Amino acid sequence: MAVFSYIIGGIIVWSLIGWGLDYLWGTRWIVLAGALLGAVGGFYLSHMHGLTSSRQNADGRHAPSAPSQDGEDNAK
């Protein structure tokens, strides 16, 4: 639900910003660019907050998506 909120919120906010710029500059395409920017930004924020990770530990809990404390990535 949080991922959905980030993406929809980003689309709404950046579309309104694009609409305002379109109104000021007399264009029609900035609102679409704003909507795309909002969707990408919302997905990026949800990914950075670890909401899009599907990896799980052996006990069934989600694994953290951040690098380990010692800087190793532990990839095999």
Q: What is the pLDDT of residue 37?
A: 96
Global confidence as pTM: 0.65
User: Could you tell me how far CA 63 lies from the centroid of its own chain?
Assistant: 19
Contact, 51 vs 3, CB < 8 A?
Answer: yes
H helical segments located in 1-76: 2-25, 30-48
Confidence of residue 1 (pLDDT cuts 50, 70, 90): confident
Contact, 65 vs 55, CB < 8 A?
Answer: yes
Q: How far apart are CA 21 and CA 49, in angstroms?
A: 30
Q: What is the pLDDT of residue 40?
A: 95
